[in-house]
Amino acid sequence: MWAFLGSDVLFFGTLIATHLVYRGQSVSGPTENILDIPITSISTFVLLMSSLAMVLALSGLQRGKMGEARFWLAATALLGSVFIGFQMYEFAEFANEGLTPRTNLFGSTFLIMTGFHGTHVAIGILWLWSLFFATFNGKIHQGNSLEVEIAGLYWHFVDIVWIVIFGVVYLVGAYGAEEHVEEAGHAAAAIFGIG
Amino acid sequence: MAHIAESHANHPGPRLYITIALILGALTGIEVAAFFLEMSSWIVVWILLLLSLAKFLMVVFFFMHLRMDDNRFALLFFAPMIVMVSIAVALLALFQNITR
């Protein structure tokens, strides 16, 4: 799982880097100013709390408390679903305001990046429900809690990817928009001795 | 079974997990508050980046148990991370320079 997560770091890193490189290059349509920070802050908090529910599920299973493990597994999946709901609302709002993947560079890079993240969350939700039901037929028990720990690693990874996207793309992006990204570019260029 | 019990013996308990989650929630609140503060742009950007880094590391080390796990797992995870951050910084430097 750690090897897979390492490869996924490169996958999401590429998407985030592409978004950062093309930020400020869109010549038409909505850009960073369309981002709704208060709503996304709530969805970020929901995803963080789903990570807490995930470790509590694992902790319960490792202590042999099946009821606790089931409760927190279901809570994790439900909180993940709430996050997906927020993302669908956000995408619908963007579409209403004229931002789609075909509108401009911001739309392409932002929606592909967050869309792939949402897909990862959706896969995680299916995985969690499969583990939840497997606790009832004895396939998941205290003795093979590693199954849940591996799913937990995946879930926490999805969480940390969102921590980066929320911090770097939403907050820094919407705060500074083009001006500060350009400053950051010049600072980075100075570090590398370019220009 | 004994091996599994032994390998999980050093995992933190629910109390520490809840404390970490509360800190993560508080850091997110500070991030959003910093976003709306009227401060020097560079200070805010650095605050946001450092808070994101702190949250990232807390989840990786405590929730993903990397603090207690084998160092080879840390290598598998952080090596691509270092490569990716280097590539991102280099691309940002090059493209911002070219488009100027």
CA triplet A16, A106, A112: central angle to 5 degrees?
55
Is A185 in contact with B76 (Cβ distance < 8 A)?
A: no
Higher pLDDT, B49 or A116: A116
The number of helix segments (H) and strand segments (E) in chain B equals: 4, 0
Structure tokens belonging to residue A155: 């879930």
Q: Report chain A residues whose CB lies below 8 A from the CB of B18.
A: 52
Domain ranges of chain A: 2-22+35-176
Q: Which of B17, B31, B69, B25 has its CA nearest to residue A146?
A: B69
Distance (Å, whole) CA A107 – CA A112: 8
Mean predicted confidence (pLDDT) in B31-40: 78
> In which band, very low, low, confident or very high, does the pLDDT at A194 lie, cut at 50, 70 and 90?
low
Is B80 in contact with A37 (Cβ distance < 8 A)?
A: no
For residue A191, pLDDT beyond 80: no
For residue A114, pLDDT beyond 90: yes
Domain ranges of chain B: 1-69, 70-100
- Spell out the alpha helix ranges (H) of A97-172: 105-134, 146-164
Is B92 in contact with A17 (Cβ distance < 8 A)?
A: yes
State percent of chain A over pLDDT 70: 90
Q: Report chain A residues whose CB lies below 8 A from the CB of B55.
A: 48, 160, 163, 167
Distance of CA A188 to the CA centre of its chain: 26
Please give the CATH number for the structural domain made up of A2-22+35-176. 1.20.120.80
Distance (Å, whole) CA A180 – CA B38: 15
Q: Which of A161, A140, A137 has its CA nearest to residue A151?
A: A140
- Within an 8 Å CB–CB cutoff, is residue A97 touching chain B? no
Q: Which of B46, B99, B17 has its CA nearest to residue A195?
A: B99
Q: What is the pLDDT of residue B4?
A: 44
Portion 24-63 of B in contact with A at CB < 8 A: 24-25, 28, 31-32, 34-35, 41-42, 44-45, 48-49, 51-52, 55-56, 59-60, 63
Distance (Å, whole) CA A188 – CA A21: 12
With CA atoms as reference, the chain B residue closest to A172 would be: B45
